[in-house]
């Protein structure tokens, strides 16, 4: 340790990390620690001084609350549907714009724009498009969907959120995949061609394995963002209860916000956050097991 | 070369840290300077007022803030505007916890009870005398609105009953005569007013609007004790009947945020509403002709009493100065300016002039005697969310629950 401390690289390395670590500790670790402590308290925003220790009561209450399971189910639905779809679409779009086609720069820009556009702006535009009687709802009517305002219908509202999330996120996946595609060595494809591998076989045995670390990154990021989805739901619920209509778009985050912030039960809300953290941690761990390329 | 680069990197990093520390230090110096200034003799106390409202409201409040030193030389008033009531209510708890909330705020009686119960506002009874507040300036009813368990929590600013609004042109074009006085007449009129593109009535699934129906049947929430009363069930049945008859619509179903947008866009001919329609329609639909009438009767006359008031937060640095600044906001000049903007006043001497300045609301004046407070349960936001969710489940989600079942389910949560 002493030898290491004298090593200039070691010191410089830590010094470079220090500002980030300090900010991370202050803005993320400390609040999380506070949330963890609060999760064992009966704490109200209005009277934090009067908070009292209640052990696991908050956790017990949450685990008995049907609304929490409903929120968890909705969060899982968003992630399970949106993450694979946006990952696949992102890959397909990246392959498309990686080819020698005219105007590929324009396509790259167009596909990426939703990702950098304000979520509220994109949601507002989508809300205008998915109103009853628009060409979008009429188009979906061809596939058996009812011509209704999607975000006002309890059967379609969550699907609306999923489509919105995919639309916004797919541009990011495309850009990351594109950078990955450009890193795949050309000679692998050439070797494959010499061996008589078809295009599909090249994709299956060269492209997909080469992009495995990228896929892991995209899936992890999209999963976390999918679980954290909030702005879109808040915009849909404008003037109404969060998770509107009738809780059809409630998620773990809205559950926390509603209880912790809106109802000011910060102890109860913190317990929901801790449970949420554990859920994300387990899922990320499983993803890592399934997708991480150790080779 | 490598060593030089490392030295440069170290130097750069050290410089960054020095800047960061200097920035933090600067903030502390500012704070120190601030407290020194407020601590010195004759220095001004800075008071912050929070409110949500229009840009026009902000101008009026800003003008009042600029002039406050004429009456209170020791007070400097800052105005903090929130974009909407929703953002205001959502931001406030966090601001209070973080110690950056305003010293006093303008709020509506619709959401105040919960905060009073949670001890977020200061009882003003002890401050009334020391801050020189003359409660006789206000109408008696408006002062009572801000009393909970015999303690005064707010300085009244405005008070007016809920109302029912009708698109005058649509009404006339449908060949309808006298404006409705009962919900049965509204139902009949709504049928005639409904066309392919227009619904007879927009009913916002929002507790404010629902409460107006409830009050017109002699019902109420009774602070959570009478949620599933027979009167409330009857009121909800009236709403359901209009939906089932296909003459009513929710703003959400049409993709709008609230009832005013539906009304302004000519998608519905009637709605329950309030005084804020005037300033909203002035911008949103300047050519729309409308009439405002009292909330129609179910079994009795009844509607909500909407009252704004100024409340001092428990963490206000100087509570007396905050109470004085709040009281100053009800001065005649400010109240007149607000009245011209459509906001009713609680100042007794100015109240009659409100209906002269806003003749479209004249027919509402008698309702001042019958309109009553919201009386939501202490966990107001939870109650409102639960009520809305239950109603949306049936009206937007196709669940076949009766009004009795819906209200029983809500009552269950607020025993």
B210 shares a domain with B156: no
Q: Do B295 and B340 reside in the same domain of the chain?
A: no
- For Cα atoms A36, A39, A44, give the angle at the middle one, nearest 5 degrees: 125
pLDDT tens readout for residues B381-409: 999 999 999 999 999 888 889 999 999 99
Q: Are residues A205 and A96 in the same domain?
A: yes
Using the predicted structure, report yes or no on whether residue A5 has a pLDDT greater than 60: no
The confidence score (pLDDT) of residue B83 equals 82
B409 lies in the same domain as B329:
no
In this structure, are A32 and A72 located in the same domain?
Answer: no
Residues A266 and A195 both lie in one domain: yes
Kindly give the parts of chain B with pLDDT less than 50.
Answer: 1, 11, 14-41
Residue B115 — φ and ψ, nearest 5°? -70, -35
Question: Do A34 and A146 share a domain, yes or no?
Answer: no
In a shared domain, residues A77 and A43: no
The sign one gets for the Cα dihedral B265, B268, B270, B273 is: negative
Q: pLDDT exceeding 70 applies to what percent of chain A?
A: 96
Residues facing B308 on adjacent strands: B108, B158
* pLDDT the model gives residue B200: 97
A212 and A144 within one domain: yes
CATH number at residue A177: 1.10.3720.10
pLDDT at B35: 32
**How does pLDDT run across A197-243, given as a tens digit for each residue?**
998 999 999 999 999 999 999 999 999 999 999 999 999 987 778 89
pLDDT tens, position by position, A74-87: 999 999 999 999 99
Residues A141, A26 share a domain = no
- The C-alpha of B85 sits at a distance from chain A's nearest C-alpha, in angstroms, of 9
A100-131: pLDDT as tens digits: 888 888 888 888 999 999 999 999 999 999 99
Closest-CA residue to B399 (of A246, A270, A203): A246
**Co-location of B141 and B156 in the same domain:** yes
Residue B13 inside a domain? The answer is: no
Q: Are residues A95 and A172 in the same domain?
A: yes
Count of domains observed in chain A: 2
Model ipTM value: 0.82
A287, pLDDT greater than 90: no
Whether residues B349 and B270 share a domain: the answer is: no
Residue A293, pLDDT score: 54
Tokens of B100: 């950056």
On whether residue B338 sits in a domain, the answer given is yes
Do B274 and B137 sit in the same domain of this protein? no
Chain A residue numbers touching B396 (CB-CB < 8 A): 152-154, 245-246
- The total of structural domains in chain B comes to 2
Chain A, 123 to 182: residues with Cβ < 8 Å from chain B are 127-128, 130-132, 148-149, 151-155
Residue A239: its chain B contacts at CB < 8 A? 86, 204, 206, 251, 257-258
**Test mutation, B252, B256, B413, chain A, max A CBs within 10 A:** B252
B190 and B278 co-located in one domain: yes
Q: How many CA atoms lie within 13 A of B180 on its CB side?
A: 29
CA–CA separation, B244 and A251 (whole Å): 31
The CA distance from A266 to A258, in Å, is 10
C-alpha closest to that of A162 among A79, A223, A221: A79
Domain CATH number, residue B121: 3.40.190.10
Are A70 and A183 in the same domain? Answer: yes
Asked if the Cβ–Cβ distance from B389 to A128 is below 8 Å, we say: no
Q: Which domain, by its residues, includes B210?
A: 163-303+379-413
Both tokens of residue A98? 């990686």
Per-residue pLDDT tens digits for A271-285: 999 998 898 889 888
Do B145 and B187 lie in one domain? The reply is no
Residue identified by tokens 């908070």 is A51
Residues B212 and B293 in one domain: yes
Which has the closest alpha carbon to B188: B198, B196, B177, B197?
B177
- Residue B388 sits at the chain A interface (C-beta within 8 Å): yes
Question: Are residues A104 and A12 part of one domain?
Answer: no
In this predicted model, what pLDDT tens digit does every residue of A231-254 receive, in sequence order?
999 999 877 788 989 899 999 999
Domain span at residue A34?
Answer: 2-53
Whether residue B409 is found in the same domain as residue B291: yes
Same domain, B84 and B206: no
Q: Tell which of A32, A53, A74 closes a domain.
A: A53
- As a whole number of angstroms, the distance between CA A285 and CA A283 comes to 5
Contact with chain B for residue A48, Cβ under 8 A: yes
pLDDT digits (tens, 9 = 90+) for A30-44: 989 999 999 999 998
Shared domain for A173 and A29, answered yes or no, is no
Q: What pLDDT is stored for residue A4 in this prediction?
A: 57
Q: Do A244 and B397 touch (CB under 8 A)?
A: no
């Amino acid at each position: 340790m002493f030898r290491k401390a004298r090593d200039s690289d070691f010191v410089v390395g830590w010094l470079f990390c220090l500002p980030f670590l300090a900010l991370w500790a202050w803005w993320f670790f400390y609040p999380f620690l506070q949330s963890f402590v609060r999760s064992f308290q009966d704490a109200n925003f209005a009277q934090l001084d009067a908070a009292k220790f209640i052990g696991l009561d908050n956790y017990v209450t949450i685990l008995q609350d049907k609304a929490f399971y409903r929120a968890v189910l909705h969060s899982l639905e968003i992630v399970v549907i949106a993450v694979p779809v946006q990952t696949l679409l992102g890959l397909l779009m990246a392959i498309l714009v990686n080819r020698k086609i005219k105007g590929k720069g324009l396509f790259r820009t167009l596909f990426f724009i939703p990702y950098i556009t304000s979520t509220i702006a994109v949601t507002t535009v989508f809300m205008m498009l998915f109103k009853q009687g628009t060409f979008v709802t009429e188009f979906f009517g061809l596939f058996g969907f009812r011509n209704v305002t999607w975000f006002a219908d309890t059967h379609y509202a969550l699907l609306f959120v999923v489509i919105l999330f995919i639309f916004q996120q797919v541009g990011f996946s495309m850009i990351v995949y594109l950078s990955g595609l450009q890193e795949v060595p050309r000679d692998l494809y050439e070797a494959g061609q010499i061996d008589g591998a078809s295009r599909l076989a090249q994709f299956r045995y060269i492209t997909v394995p080469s992009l495995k670390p990228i896929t892991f990154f995209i899936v992890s990021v999209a999963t976390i963002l999918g679980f954290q989805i909030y702005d879109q739901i808040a915009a849909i619920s404008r003037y109404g209860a969060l998770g509107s209509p009738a809780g059809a778009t409630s998620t773990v985050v809205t559950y926390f916000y509603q209880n912790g912030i809106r109802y000011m039960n910060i102890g109860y809300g913190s317990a929901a956050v801790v449970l949420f953290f554990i859920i994300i941690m387990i899922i990320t761990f499983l993803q890592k097991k399934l997708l991480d390329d150790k080779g | 070369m490598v060593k030089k680069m490392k030295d440069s990197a170290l130097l750069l990093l050290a410089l960054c840290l020095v800047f960061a520390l200097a920035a933090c230090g600067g903030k502390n110096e500012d704070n120190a300077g601030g407290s020194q200034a407020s601590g010195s003799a004759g220095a001004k106390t800075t008071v912050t007022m929070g409110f949500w409202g229009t840009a026009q409201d902000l101008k009026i409040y800003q003008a009042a803030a600029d002039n406050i030193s004429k009456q209170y030389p020791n007070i400097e008033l800052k105005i903090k505007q929130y974009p909407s009531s929703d953002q205001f209510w959502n931001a406030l708890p966090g601001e209070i916890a973080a110690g950056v909330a305003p010293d006093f705020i303008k709020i509506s009686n619709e959401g105040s009870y919960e905060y009073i119960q949670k001890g977020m506002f200061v009882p003003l009874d002890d401050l009334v005398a020391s801050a020189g507040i003359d409660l006789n300036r206000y109408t008696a009813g408006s002062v009572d609105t801000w009393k909970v368990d015999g303690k005064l929590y707010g300085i009244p600013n405005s008070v007016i009953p809920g109302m029912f609004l009708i698109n005058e042109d649509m009404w006339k074009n449908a060949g309808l005569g006298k404006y409705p006085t009962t919900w049965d007449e509204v139902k009949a009129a709504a049928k005639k007013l409904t066309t392919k593109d227009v619904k007879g009535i927009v009913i916002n699934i929002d507790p404010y609007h629902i409460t107006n129906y409830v009050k017109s049947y002699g019902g109420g929430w009774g602070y959570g004790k009478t949620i599933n009363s027979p009167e409330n069930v009857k009121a909800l049945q009236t709403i359901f009947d209009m939906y089932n008859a296909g003459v009513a619509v929710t703003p959400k179903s049409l993709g709008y945020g609230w009832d005013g947008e539906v009304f302004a866009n000519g998608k519905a001919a009637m709605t329950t509403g309030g005084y804020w329609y005037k300033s909203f329609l002035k911008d949103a639909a300047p050519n729309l002709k409308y009439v405002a009438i009292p909330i129609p009767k179910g079994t009795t006359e009844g509607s909500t009493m909407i009252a704004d008031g100024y409340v001092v937060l428990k963490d206000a640095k100087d509570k007396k100065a905050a109470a004085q600044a709040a009281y100053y906001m009800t001065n005649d000049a400010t109240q007149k300016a607000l009245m011209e903007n459509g906001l009713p006043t609680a100042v007794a001497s100015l109240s009659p002039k409100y209906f002269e300045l806003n003749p479209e609301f004249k027919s509402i004046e008698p309702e001042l005697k019958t309109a009553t407070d919201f009386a939501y349960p202490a966990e107001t936001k939870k109650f409102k969310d639960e009520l809305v969710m239950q109603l949306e489940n049936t009206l937007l989600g196709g669940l076949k629950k009766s009004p009795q079942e819906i209200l029983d389910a809500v009552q269950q949560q607020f025993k």
